[in-house]
Amino acid sequence: MESDSFRRKLSAYKDGELDGNLSEAVSLHLQNCASCRKELADFEQVDSLIKEMPKLDAAECFTLQVIAGISRTERDPLDLGSFSKRVLAKILQLAESFLELFADSEHEENTLDEFSDFPPLSISHAYFQLLGEQG
Amino acid sequence: MNDPAGRGSSFSKTESDYELIKAVGAGDVVAFEMLIERYRDPVLNFIFKYTGDKFGAEDIAQEVFLRIYQSASEFEPRGKVSTWIFKIAYNLSVNEVLRRRRFTVIAGFDEHEAEPQTPNDTALKDLAQEAMNTIRRLPEKQRAALLLRVNDDLSYAEISNVLSTSISGVESLLFRARENLRKLLIRETKE
């Protein structure tokens, strides 16, 4: 095994993840290779620095907040509250747009005369004439 | 949510993770509280060190436990509970890092850079703080593998499960992570 191959096994060797034979071979190599010994020592230093990295402590109320979160989810498993609100808002928006069609048009001002342009002698023409007489 | 065991639960502090998760799957809130107490600090610190965001870490950790509660009944006893918990924590942390990256691209603003330093930060050991800053420069899978190995003592097989990669992949990730950190830290110490 080449020196570089041993070097690549140093991390797993350090973690105790090599099988017995390979681990023994790396141990033997380390006895004769100063640069691998240095690298292994550096890996150990890197690990100690990681262990000394700043730590966070969970807030006192952490567990309570999680439990409260579960209660909220169970009351409304699919968050139907906000879902129905969103659907309702869409319906209202559509209804509003629909009403605006009429509100903006000039049809508000129109009278029945607008509909009385049926061909003479047609039933509709006669009907509108009757309506006009009644009005 | 129910509490079949009542506050005087039959669970002891030495209860196995598997017994706890089984009870959580049945809706036992006391078992769930015990599971949270057992894992909240390792989960919180993994997220904090992976994302580098001390303010967001607690929110993500809470989300991890919510997911655990919601899917406890689907837990398959083939693997370890701790591995499953770290897998959820890892996945949510990756999502957070991606979300933050998208936000940075869209808004041209790095939320993380804007974090104020609390007085305690300045009192931290210089080198350990340097390691914290340096580890954030590692590629994400290398960072996750190293944290899970060094801080949480997971085996290569467990890490491979969390990261959805092969055991030889984990070996390579850890070697490269240590090599990179060694170079970065030694270079910075010399400078």
Confidence of residue B107 (pLDDT cuts 50, 70, 90): low
Provide the residue range defining the domain that includes A99: 62-104
Instruction: Check whether residue B165 and residue B148 sit in a common domain.
Output: yes
At position A85, the amino acid (one-letter code) is: K
Tally of structural domains, chain B: 2
φ, ψ of residue B3 to 5 degrees: the values are -135, 65
Residue A129: inside a domain:
no
The residue with tokens 């007489």 is A133
- Name the pLDDT band for B65 (thresholds 50, 70, 90): very high
* B129 part of contact set with chain A, CB < 8 Å: yes
Q: Does A78 touch chain B (CB under 8 A)?
A: no
Q: Does one domain contain both B101 and B15?
A: yes
Cα–Cα distance list, B16 to B13, B20, B29, B82, B191 (Å): 9, 6, 16, 11, 49
Tokens of A67: 């439990």
Distance from CA of A26 to the nearest CA of B (A): 15
Domain stop point among B85, B115, B145:
B115
Where in the sequence is the domain holding B146, given as residue range(s)? Answer: 124-191
- Is A120 within a domain? no
CA distances for B118 relative to B122, B127, B133, angstroms: 7, 18, 16
Q: A-chain residues within 8 Å CB-CB of B150? A: 47, 50-51
The Cα-based distances of B53 to A27, A109, B119, B124, B173 in angstroms read 40, 63, 16, 16, 23
Residue A93 falls inside a structural domain: yes
Q: What is the CATH number of the domain that holds B23?
A: 1.10.1740.10
Q: Which residues of B touch A67 (CB under 8 A)?
A: 1, 29, 32-33
Q: What pLDDT does residue B42 have?
A: 96
Same domain, A10 and A39: yes
Sign of the alpha-carbon dihedral angle for B34, B36, B39, B42: negative
Whether the CB-CB separation of B40 and B63 falls below 8 Å is answered with no
The mean pLDDT value for A118-125 works out to 75
Tokens 């959580």, residue? B24
Residue A115 in domain: no
pLDDT class for B106, splitting at 50, 70, 90? low
Does one domain contain both B17 and B53? yes
Tell me the shortest Cα–Cα distance from A10 to chain B, in angstroms: 8
- Asked if pLDDT for residue A29 goes beyond 70, the answer is yes
B96 shares a domain with B153: no
How far does the CA of residue A53 sit from the closest CA of chain B (Å)?
Answer: 5
Which range has the worst mean pLDDT, A121-125, B131-135, B160-164, B172-176? A121-125
Q: Does B123 touch chain A (CB under 8 A)?
A: no
pLDDT tier at A104, thresholds 50, 70, 90: low
DSSP B112: T
Predicted confidence at residue B139, as pLDDT, reads 92
Q: What is the CATH number of the domain that holds B179?
A: 1.10.10.10
Between B62 and B14, residue with greater pLDDT:
B62
Identify the band that residue B119 occupies on the pLDDT scale cut at 50, 70 and 90: very low
Test mutation, A35, A40, A50, chain B, max B CBs within 10 A: A50
Asked, for residue A114, whether it belongs to a domain, the answer is no
Residues B86 and B163 in one domain: no
Residue B48: phi, psi to the nearest 5? -60, -45
C-alpha angle B16-B93-B21 in degrees, rounded to nearest 5: 20
B31 and B102 in a single domain? The answer is yes
Chain A within 8 Å of B98 (Cβ-Cβ)? no
Among A59, A56, A51, CA closest to B53: A56
Closest in B66, B171, B178 to A43, CB measured? B178
What are the tokens at B156? Answer: 């290569």
Would the CB atoms of B128 and A70 count as touching at under 8 Å? no
Q: Which two tokens stand for residue B2?
A: 């129910």
Best of B159, B173, B175 to disrupt the A interface (most A CBs within 10 Å) is B175
C-alpha distances out from residue B29 to A1, A18, B66, Å: 55, 41, 12
Query: Could you tell me if B106 and B58 lie in one domain?
Result: yes
Report the percent of chain B where pLDDT is more than 90: 57
Residue B126 has φ and ψ, to the nearest 5°, of -55, -45
Angle of helix B167-190 relative to helix B140-150, nearest 10 degrees?
90
Least trusted range by pLDDT, from A84-88, A91-95, B76-80: A84-88
User: Do A44 and A72 belong together in one domain?
Assistant: no
What average pLDDT score do residues A87-110 get?
A: 67
In the predicted model, what is the mean pLDDT of residues B53-69?
93
Whole-angstrom distance, CA of residue B20 vs CA of residue B81: 9
Average pLDDT over residues B77-101: 91
Q: Is A56 inside any structural domain?
A: no
Q: Are residues B54 and B94 in the same domain?
A: yes
Same domain, A8 and A45: yes
A4-8, A104-108, B93-97, B181-185: least confident range: A104-108
Q: Is the pTM above the cut of 0.95?
A: no
Quick one: B55 and B27 in the same domain? yes
Residue with tokens 């508000």: A108
Checking if the pLDDT of A50 tops 60, the result is yes
* Residues with Cβ within 8 Å of residue A22, at least 6 apart in sequence: A9
DSSP H helices in A33-61: 34-51
Distance CA A13, CA A43 (A): 11
Name the minimum distance, in Å, from the CA of A66 to any CA of chain B: 6
Q: Is the pLDDT of residue B148 over 70?
A: yes
State the pLDDT at residue B21.
94
User: What is the number of domains present in chain A?
Assistant: 2
Is A66 part of any domain? yes
Residue B101 vs residue B159, higher pLDDT: B159
Looking at the structure, tell me whether residues B78 and B163 fall in a common domain: no
- Inter-chain contact A63–B181, Cβ cutoff 8 Å? no
Q: Which of B115, B139, B170 is the last residue of a domain?
A: B115
Chain B residue with CA closest to A38: the answer is: B182
Give the pLDDT confidence of B153-182 residue by residue, as tens digits: 999 999 999 999 999 999 999 999 999 998
Residues B4 and B35 occupy one common structural domain: yes
Q: What is the ipTM of this complex?
A: 0.78
In this structure, are B56 and B139 located in the same domain? no
Cβ proximity of B140 and B90 under 8 Å = no
Nearest to B57 among A17, A56, A71 (CB): A56
> What pLDDT, on the 0 to 100 scale, is given for residue A84?
65
Confidence of residue A119 (pLDDT cuts 50, 70, 90): confident
